[in-house]
Amino acid sequence: QKEVEQNSGPLSVPEGAIASLNCTYSDRVSQSFFWYRQYSGKSPELIMSIYSNGDKEDGRFTAQLNKASQYVSLLIRDSQPSDSATYLCAVNPFGGSNYKLTFGKGTLLTVNP
């Protein structure tokens, strides 16, 4: 069974620190990787997508992908209390056509003022 694993947390960091969120996946043919942020009681909101090995930066967010290690991470620099949410890692398990996503259970991040 194709799986996506995340540490459930909670991960607690002080305001201004770097938060590091990790995700591993089991299906080697996976091609598309996504990080969604989900506030309590709300729906997932896309934060980052990454398709190639290496780093991708967008503002305070950096996604890192290592396909050989089947590992994807999200770094949040200068963490703010408004970043407190559950972060969901999602993977396209079939490669090529993103017609469904497999999600991890999410990591709860708390940023303390």
> Shortest approach of other proteins to residue 29 CB, angstroms?
13
Q: Which of 19, 24, 25, 44 binds other proteins (CB under 8 A)?
A: 44
DSSP result, 7-68: ----EEEETTSPEEEEEEES-TT--EEEEEEE-TTS--EEEEEE-SSEEEEETTEEEEEETT
Residue 42 binds to other proteins (criterion: CB under 8 A): yes
Residue 2 binds to other proteins (criterion: CB under 8 A): no
- Between 18 and 39, name the residue whose CB sits nearer to other proteins: 39
Whole-angstrom Cα distance, residue 89 to residue 49?
Answer: 10
> Shortest approach of other proteins to residue 106 CB, angstroms?
6
Structure tokens at 54: 């290496």
Structure tokens at 3: 């799986």
Residue 69 binds to other proteins (criterion: CB under 8 A): no
Residue 107 binds to other proteins (criterion: CB under 8 A): no
# of chain residues touching other proteins (CB under 8 A): 26
Whole-angstrom Cα distance, residue 20 to residue 64?
Answer: 11
Stretch that binds other proteins, among 12-20, 27-35, 56-64, 70-78 (CB under 8 A): 27-35
